[in-house]
Amino acid sequence: MRYLPHTKEDIESMLKVTGHTSLDELFNCIPDDLKTKEGIDIPESLSEWELNSHMEALASLNIACKDYKCFIGAGSYDHYIPAIIPYLISRSEFMTAYTPYQPEISQGTLQGIYEFQTMVTQLLGMDIATASHYDCGTALAEAALIALRKNRKANKIAVSSLTHPSHRQIIQTYIRPAGYEMVEVPYTKDGLTDLKAFEAMDDIAGIAVQSPNFFGNIEDLKAFKTIADSKKILFITSFTEALAYGLLKNPGYFGADIVAGEGQSLGIAKSFGGPGLGLLAGTKKQMRNLPGRLIGKTTDANGDEGFVLTLATREQHIRREKASSNICSNNGLNAMTAAMYLATIGKIGIREISQQNHDKAAYLKNCLEKAGFKPGFNTPFFNEFVMKVPKGFAKKRAALIHKSCIFAGMSLESFYPELKTHYLFCATETISKDDIDQLVKEVQ
């Protein structure tokens, strides 16, 4: 969209209507201490072509993952996207579709959401799923609020310290203004959430555990469910790598009450960090507590199949004071993308891709150990893991980015200061054996 500034005549015409003689007089209502004294340091104007060249120069400073080998996961993962997905999702009936305020008019949109919700419930082993949320962090925060509202005697939610750091920050942002508190459950030397610490906690409304966790390790969800039931609180699980459930038993198998996760791996490009796709599912008992929309299938008066907005708990459709969330939109296009991806690769495809992810990560870990790296934890993992790096690795890693176009893991120090010399590595199906061998050769 081009920027079209007001002309001098436009400004004079508007000031005449408002009854002011100048722009300064128009803004007299703003206190002087809030106004800049020196003015704003704005560069000289550019022509259209100069601006295009400037923007292209800035864009060239960015690094595209397709040109680099990325051994970093941490909540955003490289996966192959079938060519059919970008083609289909760019069609106008999908790209420009929007749910109107009389939703049943838009049968195509409703059917797309219905198919998406159906496949999400199958993937996660849950009864129901909402249309979609912004990302895993917001979906998890909504799940925490559900637990806190449901248990009015407690104003605390327990969250594993191995839940993605950004997601824990989002939870804090959501619940703190409402007077609630988040209590972090520490982790053990095995890189798993401390069950004993959780068991000793009192006056909590629920527990949220990520599996695979931020270290890539697989949590014992069954044990957490047992303790949560004994405390009569909600058991919430989360995940950042949806394809993990091509191999792992899903959260529904372990009796999770609510599941929140990130669907970026389901056919959605990383795109410099977003947008993502928040997945939120639950048991039938949580149906009226889940924020968002639930689409159902029915028949009309003529007996023809149709789709309806069965339940809507967001404020856009009902009175605000009765809304369970003030999220008024959803990542509909990304949800449609995920549905297309799941339908394209199918159950067997998910299993095969997941197996490749695990096997390549296991091969990478084994090779790094032979190169002098030490495992941070000896715990089962999916496609990412923690390694204690040799002395001088940080300099080698920095050089690799420019020399060989390789991102060799991510330092954990900023998130977990006690793990100063530990890095998180990841390998997906986009990483070849030759890529792994080259990385190991470079860091030895």
Q: pLDDT tens across 112-153, in order?
A: 999 999 999 999 999 999 988 889 999 999 999 999 999 888
Quote the pLDDT of residue 319: 58
pLDDT tens digits for range 78-114: 999 999 999 999 998 888 766 566 677 788 888 999 9
Quote the pLDDT of residue 2: 58
Distance, in Å, from the CA atom of 424 to the CA atom of 234, rounded to the nearest integer, reads: 30
Helix, strand or coil, per DSSP, at residue 397: helix
Sequence ranges of the domains in the chain: 65-80+348-443, 84-342
Quote the pLDDT of residue 67: 80
Distance, in Å, from the CA atom of 375 to the CA atom of 304, rounded to the nearest integer, reads: 59
Quote the pLDDT of residue 311: 82
Question: 206-210 and 156-160: which strand pairing?
Answer: parallel
* Residue-wise burial string across 319-340, b where 16 or more C-beta atoms lie within 10 A, e elsewhere: eeeebbbebeebbbbbbbbbbb
Distance, in Å, from the CA atom of 182 to the CA atom of 171, rounded to the nearest integer, reads: 8
Give domain 84-342's CATH number out of 1.20.1250.20, 3.40.640.10, 3.30.70.380, 3.20.20.140: 3.40.640.10
Distance, in Å, from the CA atom of 203 to the CA atom of 90, rounded to the nearest integer, reads: 49
Do the domains 65-80+348-443 and 84-342 sit in the same CATH topology, yes or no?
A: no
Q: What is the pTM of this model?
A: 0.86
Question: 406-407 and 69-70: which strand pairing?
Answer: parallel
* Topology annotation, domain 65-80+348-443: Aspartate Aminotransferase, domain 1 (3.90.1150)
Quote the pLDDT of residue 1: 45
Helix, strand, coil shares, percent, the chain, to 5: 45, 15, 40
Look-up: residue for tokens 């967001």? 314
Give pLDDT < 70 ranges for the chain: 1-3, 65, 97-102, 313-330
pLDDT tens digits for range 303-355: 999 999 888 765 555 555 666 665 655 678 899 999 999 999 999 999 999 99
Distance, in Å, from the CA atom of 171 to the CA atom of 150, rounded to the nearest integer, reads: 17
Instruction: Say whether the peptide bond before residue 43 is cis (omega within 30 degrees of 0).
Output: no
Quote the pLDDT of residue 273: 79
